[in-house]
Amino acid sequence: MTDAPVMTAPSATAPVMQATALQRHYEVSGGFMRKPRLLKAVAGLDFQLTPGKTLAVVGESGCGKSTLARMVAMIEEPTEGTLTLDGKPVLPDDWADLRQSVQIVFQDPYGSLNPRQRIGTILMEPLVINTKLTKAEREAKAREMLQLVGLRPEHFDRYPHMFSGGQRQRIAIARALMLDPKVLVLDEPVSALDLSIQSAILNLLTELQDRLQLAYLFISHDLGVVRHVADEVIVMYLGRAVERGSKAALFAAPQHPYTVALLSATPQANPGAEKRRIKLKGELPSPLAVPNGCAFAPRCWKAQDTCRAKTPELGAAPHSAACFFPENAG
């Protein structure tokens, strides 16, 4: 370790949100006359969100990223585990109050805005419900926000269909910021956008974070994007964190074989780069039939009997993998 301990004011590093052993289960019907089965979409996650920092969560579709996002944004209650906001437990009875502090932006900038409302109305709506601001104050704040996210004053009276995908995502971000949240949950916020628009939205998120010291939970399946935006990264597989670490550590020396495979499968925009793709065995198992032991073992080239017998846990170190035989370790 070359990093010297950093001395900063406690307020700057104190997490705003903390998750402990967070789980979310769904009962899914087993079909006609069959017993419902339990699907553990998120099966135990620990993390914290810090002001001004971005925690990125990556993993393939179905690994539980959006379920996690909905729990953090207080749309769904965790089945097990706890969430705290500023040290206080997040309980459904308090959601209405706490929700001001945690806002969410979704992938689809088309579905998430009411087509019948003008942009101004969309932005002011959260203020009507959650604040005692006068109409004039609400409008002033909405216009200010419009400018902050890079839209023009005349956009205030327009309808969502008059905007491009990138502009709609700006509107969704503006709406999420209306109540001065501390945490922004971003569920694939740029996945539906073209490259040239994507970079502008990523820049906007960077600038807003610097300015407002927002804590981001940034969910993405795109490792190129994650590599750019993240401070910390969690890699998920079938509802569990298989690796966690600082961006630099995780990309430089990935430890979990799944992370290694994911990185090797991500195409690089560099025709000269050496290709060494790891071919995974088999297919992603159904989340209803998660393998015993390490869930990745059936597809892992390093798996041994231990892996199929026992479930590896994530260690306490800042960079750690839930694996008995990690790569690049030590």
Partner 1 sequence: MTLLRIRNLTVEFATASGAFRAVDSVDQDIGNGEILAIVGESGSGKSVSMLAVMGLLPWTAKITADEVSFDGQDLLNMDPRARRRIIGKDLAMIFQEPMSSLNPCFTVGWQIKEALRFHLKMDRKARHARAVELFEQVGIPDPEKRLSAFPHQLSGGMNQRVMIAMAIACKPKLLIADEPTTALDVTIQAQILDLLASLRDETGMGLVLITHDMGVVAETAERVSVQYAGQKVEEQPVADLFNTPHHPYTAALLDALPERATARLLPTIPGVVPGQFDRPAGCLFSPRCKFADAKCKATPPPPLGTDLGHARCFYPLNTADRIAS
Ligand X SMILES: Nc1ncnc2c1ncn2[C@@H]1O[C@H](COP(=O)(O)OP(=O)(O)O)[C@@H](O)[C@H]1O
Residues forming the site for ligand X (CB under 6 A):
26, 28, 39, 41, 59, 61-67, 287
For residue 216, give the nearest of 65, 104, 85 by alpha carbon.
104
Q: How far is the CB of 178 from partner 1 (least distance, A)?
A: 24
Contacting partner 1 within 125-154 (CB under 8 A)? none
Residue 202 to residue 127: CA distance in whole angstroms: 26
Q: Which does 287 bind (CB under 5 to 8 A by kind): ligand X, partner 1, Mg ion, none?
A: ligand X
Decide if residue 15 touches partner 1 (CB under 8 A): no
Q: How far is the CB of 238 from partner 1 (least distance, A)?
A: 13
Q: What residues does 102 pair with on adjacent strands?
A: 183
Q: How far is the CB of 304 from ligand X (least distance, A)?
A: 28
Specify the stretch interacting with partner 1 by CB under 8 A; choose among 8-16, 48-56, 85-93, 226-234.
226-234
The residue behind tokens 């990125």 is 56
Residue 68 to residue 4: CA distance in whole angstroms: 33
Q: How far is the CB of 34 from partner 1 (least distance, A)?
A: 17
Decide if residue 208 touches partner 1 (CB under 8 A): no
Decide if residue 220 touches Mg ion (CB under 5 A): no
Q: By three-state DSSP, how is residue 141 classified?
A: helix
List 22, 145, 229, 314, residue binding partner 1 (CB under 8 A): 229
201 — phi, psi (to 5°)? Answer: -70, -40
The residue (of 141 and 299) whose beta carbon lies closer to partner 1 is: 299
* Kind of pairing between the strands at 80-85 and 17-28: antiparallel
Q: How far is the CB of 79 from partner 1 (least distance, A)?
A: 26
The residues, any chain, with a CB within 8 Å of residue 179's CB and separated by 6 or more, are 100, 101, 103, 126, 127, 130, 131
The residue (of 22 and 297) whose beta carbon lies closer to partner 1 is: 297
Residues in contact with Mg ion, shown as a per-residue x/- string from 54 to 83 under the rule CB under 5 A: -----------xx-----------------
Count Cβ neighbours within 10 Å for each residue of 160-178 and write b for 16 or more, e otherwise.
beebebbbbbbbbbbbbbb
